[in-house]
């Protein structure tokens, strides 16, 4: 859609400039209509203050807002807000703070609120922005000019990004959209289903707080890519601004199982000023930090299906169940759970114990998400994937102009295609992944003297994740420690596992399906003897001495996680000849790469 250019006026952020801003705008724009779009129409504004700048670090404090009266609102910030809040006082006292005032001929109240919210999502994902101030989340639902929202925002951002002096504050949109923070941001615009779920969670939490309930559990369920993490992030941000009956903010904690996701949530909390090292942490750390005698008000658990139900060296609780321990340390627990993403025997609940938990909390506290949010594909492609994952059936690959499925006869050709997609700025981050069917150890070197533990087939091989030597920083000066595995540029030369990519999006994913996944009598089967995933294939000994093996459930879950990573495309190669042949026949000649 073609849209008009935005009107963007920049001025110093100070009391003197605010008092003169109307006259300054009139002098800056000869066109009376342009003057009106900044003075009399709704506008979005960005106040920014550069911090310490160096070769490797560019630092900004930013505030984003929208208003019907830019002069009045700016003076309110400089005077009333600066007296009440230290962040506004800092901006007022800075001698290098500036402000962009953004107008457009089609701006109305709803559209500017949406632009403000999207601006928060983008700026919170910019590495150079260390603090982002705004006390609300303003995503709108339906309004008359909603179809113009994205193209107008893109035009605004691209205009700002074209200014050479602001390349670190406003980097290219694609660079931001590929970041893990952007994808997990609380400023993502929710779908109707997610909004309904959010309202229900907030209602349940408020009711429990008003009644001073303890041990309340709210479960959010849904398949991989159903939008659970974005929903959780959005609810967490809303509750971070909520105050209790005593006038104080309610206490929150966010638990994340993967180191990869932990970095993402910690950065979001730090930038938005809604948490610290004690509020965004791993489950075991939460259990150690908090006491049942002084429970946190609300605890969130992202990917609660990964919580342990067995002791280990780092988790020695007598309950031997992390969710039980968390519930003892929080008045209310909001947890994401997907039984099809349980990956380890240490995460399995014994017998009917999990169903008993479900029955005990009541259906009204279980929120189901059904829509597929990650995979940008037609319904028939989603159905094809579900048949492969859930039924082990390989039907003919449907036609789909949005989502690309290809089958490669050689893994080296699939690796090359993924590298090309990753290098193409129009596609973004793409990576190779594999089922855990090749040996790997973080504690020792390969027995054959190789430099890396590797995934291999014939003459082709790729190092498993976390082995290729990494520099301290990227070419853009970003610390590798702050980036998830997929975001680190050198990992294009590695192959990821479920433990590396679970919970993350890839634009294109190349899946090397190892020898544990075979085709027999027209259906996919899983052969534990061919897997190297000890956590999935070894027997689990329970507290009562009974032993069980869960490989028939856990190995399909591993394949599920890998096949659902790609947003725009899925590339496949199978080691098993029968499975590879079935995939090639299902794809058809046009989608098989020789």
What CATH number does residue 209 fall under? 3.40.50.300
Instruction: Look at residue 398 and tell me whether its pLDDT is greater than 90.
Output: yes
The pLDDT score that the predictor gives to residue 180 is 86
Instruction: Look at residue 481 and tell me whether its pLDDT is greater than 90.
Output: no
Is there a single domain that holds both residue 162 and residue 199?
no
pLDDT band for 248, please (50, 70, 90 cuts).
confident
Q: What angle do CA 277, 223, 217 make, to 5 degrees?
A: 55
The pLDDT score that the predictor gives to residue 474 is 78
> For 465-479, what is the mean pLDDT?
84
pLDDT band for 142, please (50, 70, 90 cuts).
confident
Dist CA 594 CA 592 (whole Å): 6
pLDDT band for 260, please (50, 70, 90 cuts).
confident
Per-position b or e across 294-331, b if 16+ CB within 10 A of its CB: ebbbbbbbbbbbbbbbbeeeebeeeebbbbbbbbbbbb
The pLDDT score that the predictor gives to residue 422 is 94
Is there a single domain that holds both residue 441 and residue 507?
yes
Is there a single domain that holds both residue 52 and residue 155?
yes
pLDDT digits (tens, 9 = 90+) for 170-208: 999 988 988 889 989 999 989 999 999 999 999 999 999
Instruction: Look at residue 119 and tell me whether its pLDDT is greater than 90.
Output: yes
pLDDT band for 86, please (50, 70, 90 cuts).
confident
Is there a single domain that holds both residue 458 and residue 528?
yes
The pLDDT score that the predictor gives to residue 548 is 95
The pLDDT score that the predictor gives to residue 55 is 65
Domain's final residue, options 368, 393, 418? 368
pLDDT digits (tens, 9 = 90+) for 557-571: 999 999 999 999 999
Region of 479 on the Ramachandran plot (φ > 0 left; ψ -120 to 50 alpha; else beta): beta
More confident site: 553 or 51: 553
> For 376-394, what is the mean pLDDT?
96
Instruction: Look at residue 245 and tell me whether its pLDDT is greater than 80.
Output: no
Share of the chain above pLDDT 70, in %: 98
First to last CA, the chain: 39
Query: Bridge partners of 566?
Result: 506
Dist CA 84 CA 379 (whole Å): 51
Would 373 be classed as within a structural domain? no
Is there a single domain that holds both residue 143 and residue 248?
no
The residues, any chain, with a CB within 8 Å of residue 19's CB and separated by 6 or more, are 71, 75
CB 517 within 8 A of CB 558: no
The pLDDT score that the predictor gives to residue 267 is 87
Dist CA 19 CA 311 (whole Å): 64
Would 185 be classed as within a structural domain? no
> For 338-364, what is the mean pLDDT?
94
- Exposed (0-12), middle (13-18) or buried (19+): which is 460, by Cβ within 10 Å? middle
CB 398 within 8 A of CB 384: yes
Is there a single domain that holds both residue 407 and residue 268?
no
* 69-73, 131-135, 288-292, 492-496: least confident range: 131-135
Mean pLDDT of the chain: 92
pLDDT band for 84, please (50, 70, 90 cuts).
confident
Would 478 be classed as within a structural domain? yes
Domain's final residue, options 348, 368, 388? 368
- Split into its structural domains, the chain has a count of 3
- Which residue, 311, 302, 305, is CA-closest to 344? 305
| Three-state secondary structure call for residue 408 | strand
The pLDDT score that the predictor gives to residue 273 is 87
pLDDT band for 136, please (50, 70, 90 cuts).
low
Is there a single domain that holds both residue 384 and residue 532?
yes
The pLDDT score that the predictor gives to residue 56 is 62
Is there a single domain that holds both residue 279 and residue 168?
no
CB 223 within 8 A of CB 235: no
Instruction: Look at residue 156 and tell me whether its pLDDT is greater than 80.
Output: yes
> For 415-427, what is the mean pLDDT?
92
The pLDDT score that the predictor gives to residue 277 is 66
């Amino acid at each position: 859609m073609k849209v008009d250019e935005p009107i963007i006026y920049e001025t110093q952020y100070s009391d003197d400039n605010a008092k003169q801003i109307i006259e300054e705008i009139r002098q800056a724009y000869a066109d009376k209509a342009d003057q009106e779009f900044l003075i009399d129409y709704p506008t979005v504004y960005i106040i920014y203050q550069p911090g310490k700048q160096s070769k490797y670090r560019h630092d900004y404090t930013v505030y984003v807002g929208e208003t019907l009266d830019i002069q009045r609102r700016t003076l309110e910030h400089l005077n009333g807000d600066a007296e009440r809040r230290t962040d506004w006082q800092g901006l007022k006292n800075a001698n290098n703070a500036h402000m962009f005032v953004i107008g457009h001929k089609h701006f109305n109240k709803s559209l500017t609120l949406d632009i403000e919210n999207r601006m928060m999502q983008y700026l919170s994902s910019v590495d150079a922005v260390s603090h982002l101030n705004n006390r609300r989340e303003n995503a709108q639902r339906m309004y008359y000019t909603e179809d113009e929202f994205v193209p107008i925002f893109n035009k605004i951002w691209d205009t700002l990004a074209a200014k050479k002096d602001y390349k670190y504050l406003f980097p290219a949109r694609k660079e931001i959209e590929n970041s893990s923070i952007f994808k997990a941001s609380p400023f993502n615009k929710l779908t109707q289903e997610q909004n309904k779920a959010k309202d229900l969670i907030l209602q349940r939490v408020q009711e429990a707080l008003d009644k001073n309930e303890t041990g309340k559990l709210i479960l959010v369920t849904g398949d991989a890519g159903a939008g659970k993490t974005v929903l959780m992030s959005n609810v967490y941000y809303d509750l971070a601004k909520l105050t209790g009956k005593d006038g104080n903010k309610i206490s929150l904690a966010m638990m994340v199982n993967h180191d990869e996701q932990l970095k993402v949530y910690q950065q979001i909390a730090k930038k938005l000023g809604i948490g610290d090292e004690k509020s965004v942490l791993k489950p075991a750390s939460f259990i150690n930090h908090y006491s049942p005698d002084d429970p946190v008000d609300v605890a969130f658990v992202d990917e609660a299906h990964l919580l342990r139900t067995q002791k280990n060296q780092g988790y020695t609780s007598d309950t031997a169940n992390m969710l039980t321990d968390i519930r003892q340390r929080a008045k209310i627990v909001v947890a994401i759970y997907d039984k099809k993403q349980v990956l380890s025997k240490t995460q399995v609940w014994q017998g009917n114990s999990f169903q008993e938990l479900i029955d005990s909390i009541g259906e009204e506290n279980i929120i189901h998400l059904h829509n597929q949010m990650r995979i940008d594909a037609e319904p028939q492609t989603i159905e094809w994937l579900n048949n492969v994952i859930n039924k082990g059936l390989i039907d003919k690959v449907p036609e789909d102009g949005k989502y690309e499925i290809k089958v490669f006869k050689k893994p080296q050709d699939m690796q090359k295609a993924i590298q090309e997609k990753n290098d193409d700025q129009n596609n973004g981050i793409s990576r190779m992944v594999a089922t855990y069917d090749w040996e790997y150890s973080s504690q020792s070197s390969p027995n054959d003297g190789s430099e890396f533990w590797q995934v291999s087939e014939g003459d082709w091989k790729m190092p498993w994740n976390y082995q290729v030597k990494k520099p301290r920083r990227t070419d853009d000066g970003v610390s590798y420690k702050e980036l998830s595995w997929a975001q680190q540029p050198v990992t294009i030369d590695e192959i990821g596992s479920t433990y590396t990519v679970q919970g993350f999006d890839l634009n294109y994913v190349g899946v090397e399906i190892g020898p544990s996944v075979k085709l027999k009598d027209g259906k996919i089967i899983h052969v534990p003897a061919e897997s190297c995933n000890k956590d999935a294939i070894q027997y689990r000994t329970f507290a009562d001495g009974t032993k069980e093996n869960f490989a028939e459930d856990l190995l399909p879950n591993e394949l599920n996680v890998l096949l659902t990573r790609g947003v725009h495309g899925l590339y496949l190669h199978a080691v098993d000849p029968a499975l590879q042949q079935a995939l090639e026949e299902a794809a058809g000649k046009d989608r098989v790469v020789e």
